[in-house]
Amino acid sequence: MGFPHRAHPRETPVLSRYFGDTGARTLDGWRQRGGYEALDMALDTDPQALQAIVKESGLRGRGGAGFPTGLKWSFMKPDGKTHYLCCNADESEPGTFKDREIMRWTPHGLVEGVALAAHAIYAETAYIYIRGEFTEPLARVSAAVEEAYAAGVLGANAMGSGKRVDVHVHRGAGAYICGEETALMNSLEGRRGNPRIKPPFPAVAGLFGMPTTINNVETLATVPYIIKNGAEWYKQFGRRDNPKSVGTKLFSVCGNISRPGNYEVALGFPFKDFLYDLCGGPLPDREIKAVIPGGSSVPILTREEAEGAMMDYEGFVAAGTMLGSGGVIVFDDRQDMVRQIARLARFYAHESCAQCSQCREGTAWTTRILERIRDGEGSVEDFDTLLSIADNMSGKTICVLSDSCATPVVSGLAKFRHEFEAKIVPTRGTVTVAGAVRAAAS
């Protein structure tokens, strides 16, 4: 369902089916819509069988990395240790606002998925980490959790299964990086949200040092449907010629587009149809200039590149970018790409956790150069410097925030270099000390 717009016939609403339906928010309402049947079933099923179903379904992490969910779960063995499930509801990748709607409209769908996944990974405790700004989703999910406890869905004897499932809601407090899984764990432990060095991976030593699985909201909300309808049902969604990307996916669309909002389509949907049919294309009298298809951290596409892309993990890679979180940011022909790329860099400079040298200094330096170019104070040499800095920032840090800052710079300079060049005012180029000395001597 294209919330806040009506569903488009070409959408495949699974997760978004009840967006806008206030009746789905209560436990009773959720049960009337078939909710908690999957959990009821799952709590009596062996965790390894659940892991197998999810593995078979082909579900991949919807937070951005696309790691196979069943495979991630299968790292969790019955080893007698305390296990934890973390639900990553820190949705903070610019351009992405799908988890927000899942939590606002179908909070019980998430609680069900969380409880189910907790059981599937031998955990009795799950935490839903919600970014601090999401006050309404926080209230909705908290209310759902309370209702679920009151009804015995959660607690020491979840749904009468004899299994303990505790779900707690934890509020973040304003830090993009806490969407990175190990940063989230640090934050949950009451630390600065610094990403951790891997290894050890969360499945070995995660939250509170114990084996932990961390999944995105959309991923977890999908799981009950898979358990209820079977892996085969889920696999039907997708391109015939690409079995690596199956299922439905929520895409958030924003920026210069006629109908911004969330759209759920089967993976492999043609991006051109998506942009023009579902989302209504550009605003009147404008043209799409560029699209970032997977949240601000993935490479920018030109309109032509975007129109040729297929919307799945492999399709976007083939187009030179990534599916990422599914946050589609559209830029039309009135936008100044230099200004917007500088603004993106500023975002990353603001959000850098400050651990790694390259990220702490590089994001800020990149921003300063870009803003100088934006203001007409740049020189052509700045382009080389930017690319060199971007290279020094990529693939060398604990997490990928640094790379994410470099990505739009590199793709922006490659694809919109003419806009950068147009900002260079020859007479106002910065005079270097050496140049000034030479000038004075001549």
Residues 2-41 interacting with another protein (rule: CB under 8 A): 4
- Among 213, 219, 296, 411, the residue binding another protein under the rule CB under 8 A is 296
Min separation Cβ 31 and another protein, Å? 26
Query: In the complex with another protein, which residue's Cβ is closer, 236 or 430?
Result: 430
Among 142, 320, 392, 429, binds another protein (CB under 8 A): 392
Give SS3 for 25.
Answer: helix
Alpha helices (H) in 241-356, listed in sequence order? 271-273, 303-307, 313-318, 337-351
Pick left, alpha or beta for residue 354 (phi over 0 → left; psi -120 to 50 → alpha; otherwise beta). Answer: left
Q: Which long-range contacts (CB under 8 A, 24 or more apart) does 389-393 make?
A: 389/362, 389/365, 390/366, 392/358, 392/362, 393/358, 393/359, 393/362, 393/363, 393/366
Nearest alpha carbon to residue 306 among 337, 336, 283, 274:
274
- At closest approach, how far in Å is the CB of 234 from another protein? 26
Q: Which is nearer to another protein, 161 or 392 (CB)?
A: 392
Site for another protein in 254-273 (CB under 8 A): 254-256, 260-262
Binding segment toward another protein, per CB under 8 A, in 26-34, 111-119, 150-158, 384-392? 384-392
Which of 366, 308, 319 lies closest to 338 in space, CA to CA? 366
* Closest distance to another protein from the beta carbon of 180 (Å): 13
Which region among 52-60, 215-223, 225-233, 324-332 touches another protein (by CB under 8 A)? 324-332
Size of the site for another protein (CB under 8 A): 81
Which H or E run contains 200? Answer: none
User: Distance between CA atoms of 364 and 381, rounded to whole angstroms?
Assistant: 18
| 339 within 8 A of 374, measured Cβ to Cβ | yes
- Applying CB under 8 A, among 190, 240, 418, 426 the residue interacting with another protein is 190
Structure tokens at 59: 């579900």
> Is 245 one of the binding residues for another protein (CB under 8 A)?
no
Does 349 participate in binding another protein (rule CB under 8 A)?
yes
Q: Which of 19, 5, 9, 8 is nearest to 218 (CA)?
A: 19
Q: Which of residues 148-177 bind another protein (CB under 8 A)?
A: 166, 168, 170-176
DSSP β-bridge partners for residue 215: 87
174 burial (CB, 10 Å; 0-12 / 13-18 / 19+) is exposed
Q: Tell me: does residue 57 bind another protein (CB under 8 A).
A: no
Q: Does 124 bind another protein (CB under 8 A)?
A: no
- Give the one residue of 38, 86, 87, 253 binding another protein; rule: CB under 8 A: 253
Report which of 142, 151, 145 is spatially closest to residue 118, judged by C-alpha positions.
Answer: 145
> Site for another protein (CB under 8 A): which residue of 67, 152, 162, 191?
191
- Segment interacting with another protein, rule: CB under 8 A, options 34-42, 114-122, 392-400, 417-425: 392-400
364 in contact with another protein (CB under 8 A): yes
Residue 180 phi/psi, 5-degree rounding, is -75, 135
Under the criterion CB under 8 A, does residue 368 sit at the interface with another protein? yes
Among 362, 373, 374, 383, binds another protein (CB under 8 A): 362
Count of Cβ atoms closer than 10 Å to residue 330 Cβ = 26
Q: Which is nearer to another protein, 231 or 322 (CB)?
A: 322
Report the 10 Å Cβ neighbour count for 76.
24
Indicate whether 407 belongs to the interface with another protein (CB under 8 A). Answer: no
Least Å distance, CB 418 to another protein, is 19
The residue (of 245 and 394) whose beta carbon lies closer to another protein is 394
